[in-house]
Amino acid sequence: GGSSSINGTVYMRGTPADYDEWRQRGCEGWDWDSVLPFFKKAEDQERGADELHGVGGPLKVSDVPARWPLPSAMIEAARQAGAPANPDFNGPTQEGTGFYQFTASRHRRWSSARAYLRDARRRPNLHIETEAHATRVIIEQGRAVGVSYKTPAGEKQARASAEVIVSGGAFGSPQLLQLSGLGPASLLKEMGIEVVRDMPGVGANLQDHFNTYLTYRCSQPVTLNDLAISWPRRMLAGARYVLTRSGPLTNTGVIAGVFLRTDPRLERPDMQINMALFSAEKRLPTGIVPHPFSSFTLSPVHLRPDGRGSVRIKSPDPLVAPAIHYDFLVTEYDRQAILHGMRFCRKIGAQPALAPYVMEEILPGPQVTSDEALLEDVRERAIANYHPVGTCRMGNEVNAVVDARLRVHGVPGLRVADASIMPQIVAGNTNAPSIMIGEKAADMILADN
């Protein structure tokens, strides 16, 4: 947990066709018409209620607090490059360019912990234990009956009166199931773990969005890099935010974008371009290090990669991180899609609306033009987009892990409820769909118990 406390706060559902495709894969009750009520139930939408948006829910959803000149110019440049204006990416259509919405309220992050846990933690039937690491699901006579976990005070157990619900995310959930004897039998035997149930699908089907980035030196001091490299500006921005909740710190730096199709024959967008008010010289475990000059980024994100990776334990020790293997750029479609996204970014950067801001392209650089050179640059600099899903996928196929009610196949008393159950990644940021999954899971759990 905790992703919504450190993410970019973008509120994006994906397209209705994403969820209709889930239904086509055997996930009854997960089509768009079935999941929309749970999106609306979660929302407290700043724009008000309508047939697609909800109010009164625990999750605050708001617009960009201030329309700055540079992102507005980026959006206009995207329009000049051929993208239609789109005032609501969660509206009737996703394609186009415009400002994002965010899980925020009064210029403060509105995480799922703030939305759901802050009030619920006072309930007598809820116990929260921090500094605890789940080590395995306890399975007795084929049924899940509890969870073992480590704390600074030692090993503990929590016994379930009804069922165990695993919500460890696309990395943590398959790891915990494998540690519990639920996974590929060959892997479990290799790790010395007793096989409770041979489930090859646990840890398979790993998907993520795939992105690279084009960096432009900016001719005006209007980026977040200008703030980061100047102590006086940083202090002033901090003071403005603390005292008046205004200024550059009221946004996450990625406040606008484009959704487009890399092939006109496609029925819906497969490419997202994030417009960022900063650029990174390097990435460290503690965060990014900005370039020491004014610059911004256009980042093409492939939303529907063909590749499928895996999450597999490396040790029976639950404190050892699993092996995470992505499989990007495995098909010609994957390669051509990211190339199309890079070239559309360059098309945006060359439009009149950005002429007052663009000094030069820094990365990958104007000399990198051929398909081969661009793909080599992608292989060197591209990254996963921090949207992992699919490793405990839902469905009725042989290797599906959970059914349409999120119950683990063949293991009574055990459910998985998080992004790992997605059979196919959605077209857009995954926080909003994950919250929808939680809302729908809660509804099913109450109905079944």
- Identify whether 364 is preceded by a cis peptide bond (ω within 30 of 0): yes
Q: How far apart are CA 273 and CA 379, in angstroms?
A: 18
302 annotated active-site: no
Torsion of Cα atoms, 255 then 260 then 262 then 263, to 10°: 180
Q: How far apart are CA 404 and CA 381, in angstroms?
A: 38
**Strand, helix or coil at 240?**
helix
**CA angle 285-286-291, nearest 5°?**
100
Torsion of Cα atoms, 375 then 377 then 379 then 381, to 10°: -150
Of 12, 64, 3, 39, residue with least CA distance to 429: 12
| CB-side neighbour CA atoms (13 Å) of 411 | 29
Residue 6: exposed, middle, or buried by beta-carbon count in 10 A (0-12, 13-18, 19+)?
exposed
**Which structure tokens are listed for 346?**
């360059």
- Give the active site residue among 53, 291, 340, 387: 387
Residue type, 128: I
- Whether 256 and 97 have beta carbons less than 8 Å apart is answered as yes
Q: What is the separation, in whole angstroms, between the first and last Cα of the chain?
A: 24
Question: What are the φ/ψ torsions at residue 151 (nearest 5 degrees)?
Answer: -135, 170
- Whether 302 and 384 have beta carbons less than 8 Å apart is answered as no
Residue 387: exposed, middle, or buried by beta-carbon count in 10 A (0-12, 13-18, 19+)?
buried
- Whether 216 and 298 have beta carbons less than 8 Å apart is answered as yes
Torsion of Cα atoms, 274 then 276 then 282 then 283, to 10°: -60
Strand pairing category for 43-45 and 59-61: parallel
Residues tagged active-site? 387
